[in-house]
Amino acid sequence: MSDFKTVLLAIDLSEEAVQVANKAHSLAKNSGASLHVIHVIEPLSFAYGGDIPMDFSGIQDEIQKQAKSQLSTFSAKYDISADCQHIVIGRPETEIHAVAEELNADLVVVGSHGRHGLALLLGSTANGVLHGAGCDVLAVRVEDN
């Protein structure tokens, strides 16, 4: 059987996420699969390199609270219930792989900008998710805004 049973949609809560979510929703519906959604928040200490000791805990909590609220609003449009919404803090590729494994997902859907040049060298999230994924990965081509 080639249909999917559990689809994990990874989104960044940008405007482009809708294009990716539409595809994931349609695929899950066609396959009769359950649809989960994950949003990964990168810790501020990652973004700032972690070499300056600062206390980001208050800001981090606020970011997490807002992300949760946005993910909830987003998920409602696709009938994704609260227990299928995952907010995780960490590196996107690592956390997406971990949750995919936990859910025994057979497909991860992620957005891809298809950019050349620097992004190719640095590796996009789609690229990172592709490598080391234990399941299929659909990279949805999104138009840059």
In the complex, the residues that contact a second copy under the rule CB under 8 A are 2-3, 22-23, 25-27, 30-31, 112, 114, 116, 120, 126-127, 130-141
Choice between 17 and 139, CB closer to a second copy: 139
Select 58 or 132, whichever has its Cβ closest to a second copy: 132
Q: How far is the CB of 142 from a second copy (least distance, A)?
A: 10
Q: CB atoms < 10 A from the CB of 67, how many?
A: 16
Q: Cβ distance 9 to 38 under 8 Å? A: yes
CB of 13 or CB of 18, closer to a second copy = 18
The residues, any chain, with a CB within 8 Å of residue 140's CB and separated by 6 or more, are: 19, 20, 23, 24, 109, 110, 111, 112
